[in-house]
Amino acid sequence: MKNNLNTTKTKINRRQMLKATATLGSGILFLPSGILARGQSPNEKISVAFIGLGGQGNFQLDNIGNQKDLVDVVALCDVDDTRAGKAYERFAKAQKFYDFRLMFDKLESSIDAVAVSTPDHTHYHPVIRAIRAGKHVYCEKPLAHSVAEARIITDEAARMKVATQLGCQRHAIRNMARVVEIIRSGAIGEVTEVYSWIGGDRGMPKKPDGIGEPPSTLKWDLWLGACPTDWKFATTDNKSSFVPYNWRFWWDFGTGEMGNWSCHILDLPFWALDLKYPIKVSASGQEVDAERTPKWMDVVYDFPSRGNFPALKLHWSHTKMPACFEKYNIKIPVKNKGKQNVNPNNLFVGTKGMLLAGFDRHVLLPESEFVDFEYPKQIIPNSPGFHREWINACKGGKPATCNFSYSGPMAETALLGNTAFKAGHKTFEWDAEKLIAKNCLEVQNAIKPEFKKGWEY
């Protein structure tokens, strides 16, 4: 079945026309695709379709679908009846689909917004189709499976002026905003170096040792989606090699721990230091496996100066113990004012001190120099709730905090690191405007994805 993203025609029904007419006071926007953008009254429910219903998909249903005074769940789409079963029971009135393309063909005019929580390799097609149809989009991290996909999604979301949110829900934790306020207050001086990491050694799963039949409840071909490799239903130790979770550590489907965690962890330096695109990327780590993501890797990103912020070197590590602990003689566990342990994943190194931060706690170092530290005044308002931010944006409110204009470059940066690693531990200068890896053909050839015949886009 061809994707037909360019050929789907949208009929504007009476419901859409009434909504659009209601926005005449602020002007009706005719989109380039010929679709009439629908205004959303603050008092009107938004009709949301959910694509991907297991794991994070259920999390989105809990946080979006259960806000029944604000949201109508009109469609549920998943390739696995078993994984989707509870969602089907909870939202029995929603229409059910296996194929998101058929869902759009049938219900496009009835959908206001879409939440996508599928494996990484199946983000791009439903997200870009939704955006080009003028639908608001919530998407799980890391947004896409390749650099080019991330950039296209970012640019198209801005062009179509839809409300977006990337699933970096820890952004709404108050400690995250507090760290940003401290950094921007100048408390540790100018920050010229950041260390960011995820611990552990997940990756390089066992290779399949058999081929089985997918369960009758799983539409295997649809699960593969646009993947160019014709994978059979592989098994390892008599269990599926890929579903429901281990797909994350296979390059054809996932993006490893970089894609799994970096958009949560890099969120803090990107937010605090106004980062966007790096100008140089250098990757290293264990020997590259063509099929599986690594157990450990390191990437160094160079960012240019930005307004009042100086040039920055950001170190990303997937490792059991980041090198900065020994370099700066940081002892574990680190306590916040002698009371609570900090579970850190970012170290900001400034000209006047350092700040070690996790998602929910932080500590200024060396502690002896910050005994009498007076916290800056709160300038970042508390979040109404990460998913509520997106719902409010869909209804005409201000953009959500992790909208794609902010989070798209962050996801692209993470994917650049993966691409540099997978291409053979490459170092290259990055021309973000032109999407060119200077003098590095191996990386350049991997920027754009390959899709299965029938899914080309």
Strands 113-116 and 136-139: parallel
Rg of the Cα trace of the chain?
A: 22
Name which residue leads in pLDDT, 8 or 436: 436
> Cα–Cα distance between 46 and 40 in angstroms, integer?
8
- 338 pLDDT band, cuts 50/70/90, is low
Query: In this structure, is residue 215 part of a structural domain?
Result: no
Task: Flag whether 117 is in a domain.
Answer: yes
- Which pLDDT score is estimated for 38? 46
Indicate the DSSP class of residue 287.
Answer: P
Per the domain annotation, does 251 fall within a domain? no
Domain that holds residue 348: 171-202+256-380+415-438
The answer to whether residues 129 and 19 belong to one domain is: yes
Q: Are residues 187 and 303 in the same domain?
A: yes
Contact 334, 347 (CB under 8 A): no
Question: Which of the four pLDDT bands, split at 50, 70 and 90, describes residue 21?
Answer: very low
144 and 153 Cβ atoms separated by less than 8 Å: yes
CB 163 within 8 A of CB 113: yes
Which of 395, 433, 405 has the alpha carbon at shortest distance from 166?
405
The gap from C-alpha 41 to its chain's centroid, in whole angstroms, comes to 28
> Which residues, 6+ apart, have CB-to-CB distance to 377 below 8 Å?
181
Say whether pLDDT at 90 is over 80.
yes
Are 104 and 195 found together in one domain? no
Pair 429, 280: CB distance under 8 Å: yes
User: To the nearest whole percent, how much of the chain has pLDDT over 70?
Assistant: 89
Give Cβ neighbours of residue 26 (< 8 Å, ≥ 6 apart): 39
- Kindly state whether residue 332 falls inside one of the protein's structural domains: yes
Within-domain flag for 449: no
**In which band, very low, low, confident or very high, does the pLDDT at 337 lie, cut at 50, 70 and 90?**
low
The pLDDT-based confidence of 335 (bands split at 50, 70, 90) is: low
Instruction: Identify any residues that bridge with 13 across adjacent strands, giving them in sequence order.
Output: none
Same domain, 78 and 136: yes
Residue 223 in contact with residue 243, Cβ under 8 Å? yes
- Tokens for 258? 């970089």
Does this model's pTM top 0.85? My answer is: yes
**Torsion angle of C-alpha atoms 425, 426, 427, 429, degrees rounded to 10:** -140
Whether 149 and 180 map to the same domain: the answer is: no
Into how many domains does the chain fold? 2
Are 363 and 396 contained in the same domain? Answer: no
Q: Is residue 81 part of a domain?
A: yes
Of the two residues 349 and 37, the one the predictor is more confident about is 349
Question: What token pair was written down for 2?
Answer: 């061809």
Tens-digit pLDDT profile for residues 184-223:
999 999 999 999 999 999 999 999 999 999 999 999 999 9
Longest CA–CA span in the chain (Å) reads: 67
Are residues 374 and 396 located together in one domain of the fold? no
Determine, yes or no, domain membership for 210.
no
**pLDDT of the residue at 331:** 83
Same domain for 324 and 397, yes or no, is no
Mean local confidence (pLDDT), 332-337? 66
Mean pLDDT of the chain: 91
DSSP string, 310-335: PPEEEEEEESSS-THHHHTT--SSEE
DSSP string, 159-180: HHT--EEES-GGGGSHHHHHHH
Summarize the confidence of residues 249-270 as an average pLDDT.
98
Structure tokens, 181: 């306020």
Examine the domain organization and report whether 183 and 292 are in the same domain. yes
In this structure, are 40 and 165 located in the same domain? yes
Predicted confidence (pLDDT) per residue in 342-381, tens digit: 899 999 999 999 999 999 999 999 999 999 999 999 999 9
65 and 111 fall within a common domain: yes
In this predicted model, what pLDDT tens digit does every residue of 169-187 receive, in sequence order? Answer: 999 999 999 999 999 999 9
Bridge pairing between strands 210-211 and 234-236: antiparallel
Count of beta carbons in the 10 Å neighbourhood of residue 18: 11
Domain of 276: which CATH number? 3.30.360
Beta bridge partners of 363: 356
Statement to judge: residues 114 and 189 lie in one domain: no
Among residues 456, 407, 395, 432, which one has the least CA distance to residue 139? 407
Distance CA 362, CA 181 (A): 12
d(CA 174, CA 280): 32
The CATH number for 40's domain is: 3.40.50.720
Residue 454 lies in a domain: no
